[in-house]
């Protein structure tokens, strides 16, 4: 028998959101305890900084180029490999995914995709190797959470922020005290909000299992992804007026312009509103007009959501203990990608490979009966390593189709695995036809990003940052002659790290 596995993900959570990673705003004692008692990976990077590609990597154990979900709106093929299916087949695991899946596009008016049909036809799977699925997004849509809300709190559905307008334009409406983009006062009761719902439905599934079952449960919270509309009853937790501005917030429009002028042109386009390069950023949102107080309020609402996630996790941890499984349960906590939250005067995410978006909270608390020592691992790891690690916990061979490695439990193991880099990629076509293609490597304290040729770039552009001297990645060293030799070596390592690409390229069928 293997050990039980609780895999927890959030959506769009920064590395520094948690107390164990230096966060000073949200109180996250339950997750901090995982880091204290387990292994905290302080150099974990996303393989993509947008939802669907990153989530597909976590499910398949493959890089984005290989599984083929190159941007949001590209559905993961139904026959794609799945670690959940592999654990079922090889070790008899009971499997569930509760919360946000997003392997298939949300924007699906014809209900082509089973994720979106499931609740409508009163089913819970099986799908992609999961015996049981109960799905949610950030707002009540056509998923199981919407059905539950209609049955239990129908009058509260209208209190959520509507992320899309009637013509499917991304909404830029502001709210709260400062009018910040996508901040909203939500009258929903805390016990009806999707964070508590995900925890409660996870507990209900755990309660349904036999005492001796081996299980793999992916508990997937939709927060703290925008819109920022936590229950109004909870917003007192963090007063935005007391929030410090982020370290990477430049502090003035002139300073921000100086920084962005040193980066490739699509950075400045986004800030000025000349052209939006991310489909989830509202075209009507112009970052240069965002005030410092609006940045503070966005951060405050984000940290309210982070606290609610921690409390929901604690509730599930307690139930696992009550069921007698605590000593036999591994818990892994991470997210799909980060969020600007005011860094560089920006919000949301997109084709911008800096630590705001790439660097992840990443914690593995092995089951206590595994007798593993607590550790902090600074070697680079990534989402591609999760599926092999689940296999190792379950006691099954890591299949050849997985491209990562089992996560190291200490620095010595990381050295033996020759872990010196982590790879991230981005490809997108914006709604106006703008194309961006990036390939990034973190190695030995440097981040290098090479731009592929597209309809806005020649393929000679890029970014290079020395994190030791420039932790905020304000100074692009790409064209600095003093770094020419380092750049050459890093570009060679980046080329070597590129995974094999899926052919033919999958079709983009929806916006999100």
Strand, helix or coil for residue 510 = coil
pLDDT at 231 over 90: yes
- In this prediction, residue 236 carries a pLDDT of 97
pTM of the predicted model as reported, rounded to 2 decimal places = 0.98
pLDDT at 432 over 90: no
> Domain residues of the chain, as ranges?
4-160+172-420
Average pLDDT, the chain: 97
- How does pLDDT run across 75-102, given as a tens digit for each residue? 999 999 999 999 999 999 999 999 999 9
Strand, helix or coil for residue 45 = strand
- How does pLDDT run across 402-412, given as a tens digit for each residue? 999 999 999 99
Residue 164 binned pLDDT confidence (cut-offs 50, 70, 90): confident
Residue 170 binned pLDDT confidence (cut-offs 50, 70, 90): confident
The Cα 476–Cα 480 span in angstroms is 8
Q: What angle do CA 89, 93, 95 make, to 5 degrees?
A: 105
126 upstream amide cis, omega within 30 of 0? yes
Q: How far is CA 356 from CA 173, 360, 458, in A?
A: 24, 9, 26
- In this prediction, residue 512 carries a pLDDT of 85
The Cα 321–Cα 488 span in angstroms is 52
Alpha-carbon torsion, ordered 389, 52, 260, 345, to 10 deg? -100
The Cα 314–Cα 15 span in angstroms is 19
The Cα 61–Cα 67 span in angstroms is 9
- The CATH code belonging to domain 4-160+172-420 is 3.40.720.10
Ordered strands of the 94-99 beta sheet: 132-135, 94-99, 215-224, 4-11, 329-335, 363-365, 39-41, 375-377
Q: Are strands 44-45 and 359-360 parallel, antiparallel or unpaired?
A: antiparallel
The Cα 19–Cα 32 span in angstroms is 6
Kindly give the interhelix angle for 83-91 and 51-60, rounded to the nearest 10 degrees: 20
Residue 495 binned pLDDT confidence (cut-offs 50, 70, 90): very high
- How does pLDDT run across 305-339, given as a tens digit for each residue? 999 999 999 999 999 999 999 999 999 999 999 99
Please name the helix (run of DSSP H) or strand (run of DSSP E) that holds residue 377, with its range, or none: strand 375-377
- In this prediction, residue 210 carries a pLDDT of 97
The Cα 30–Cα 26 span in angstroms is 12
What is the DSSP track for 219-285?
Answer: EEEEEESSSB--BGGGGGGS-GGGPPPPTT--SSHHHHHHHHHTS-HHHHHHHHTS----TTS-TT-
- In this prediction, residue 383 carries a pLDDT of 98
Mean pLDDT of 162-167: 79
- How does pLDDT run across 190-200, given as a tens digit for each residue? 999 999 999 99
């Amino acid at each position: 028998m293997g050990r039980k596995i609780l895999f927890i993900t959030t959506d769009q959570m920064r590395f520094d959101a948690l107390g164990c990673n230096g966060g000073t705003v949200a109180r996250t004692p339950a997750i901090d305890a995982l880091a204290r008692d387990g292994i905290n990976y302080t150099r974990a990077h996303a393989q993509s900084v947008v939802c669907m590609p990153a989530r597909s990597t976590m499910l398949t154990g493959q890089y984005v180029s290989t599984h083929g979900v190159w941007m949001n709106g590209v559905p993961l093929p139904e026959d794609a490999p799945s670690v959940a299916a592999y654990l079922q087949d090889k070790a008899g695991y009971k499997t569930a995914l509760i919360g946000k899946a997003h392997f298939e596009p949300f924007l699906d008016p014809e209900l082509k995709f089973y994720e979106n049909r499931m609740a409508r036809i009163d089913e819970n799977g099986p799908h992609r190797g999961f015996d049981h699925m109960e799905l949610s997004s950030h707002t009540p849509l056509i998923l199981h959470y919407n059905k539950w809300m209609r049955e239990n709190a129908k009058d509260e559905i209208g209190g959520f922020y509507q992320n899309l307008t009637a013509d499917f334009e991304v909404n830029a409406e502001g709210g709260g005290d400062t009018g910040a983009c996508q901040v909203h006062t939500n009258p929903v009761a805390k016990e009806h909000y999707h964070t508590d719902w995900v925890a409660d439905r996870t507990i209900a599934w755990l309660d349904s299992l036999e005492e001796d079952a081996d299980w793999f449960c992916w508990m997937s919270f939709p927060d703290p992804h925008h819109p920022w509309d936590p229950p109004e009853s909870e917003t007192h937790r963090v007063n935005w007026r007391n929030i410090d501005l982020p370290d990477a917030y430049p502090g003035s429009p002139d300073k921000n312009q100086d920084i962005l002028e040193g980066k490739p042109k699509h950075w400045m386009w986004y800030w000025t509103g000349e052209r939006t390069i991310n489909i989830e950023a509202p075209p009507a949102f112009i970052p240069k007009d965002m005030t410092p107080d609006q940045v503070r309020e966005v951060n405050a609402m984000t940290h309210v959501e982070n606290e609610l996630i921690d409390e929901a996790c604690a509730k599930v941890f307690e139930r696992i203990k009550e069921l007698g499984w605590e000593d036999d349960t591994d818990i892994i906590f991470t997210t799909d990608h980060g969020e600007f939250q005011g860094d560089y005067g920006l919000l949301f995410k997109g084709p911008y490979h800096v630590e705001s978006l790439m660097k992840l909270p990443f914690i593995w608390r092995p089951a206590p009966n595994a007798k593993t020592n607590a550790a902090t691992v600074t070697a680079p790891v990534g989402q591609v390593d999760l599926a092999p690690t689940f296999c190792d916990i379950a006691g099954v061979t890591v299949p050849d189709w997985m491209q990562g490695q089992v996560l190291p439990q200490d620095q010595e193991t990381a050295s033996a695995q020759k872990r010196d880099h982590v790879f991230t990629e981005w490809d997108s076509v914006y709604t106006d036809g703008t194309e961006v293609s990036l390939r990034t490597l973190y190695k030995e304290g440097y981040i290098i990003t090479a731009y592929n040729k597209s309809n806005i770039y020649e393929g000679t552009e890029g970014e290079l940052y020395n994190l030791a001297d420039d932790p905020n990645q304000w100074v692009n060293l790409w064209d600095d002659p003093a770094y020419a030799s380092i750049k050459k070596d890093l570009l060679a390592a980046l080329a070597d790290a590129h995974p094999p690409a899926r052919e033919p390229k999958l079709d983009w069928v929806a916006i999100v």
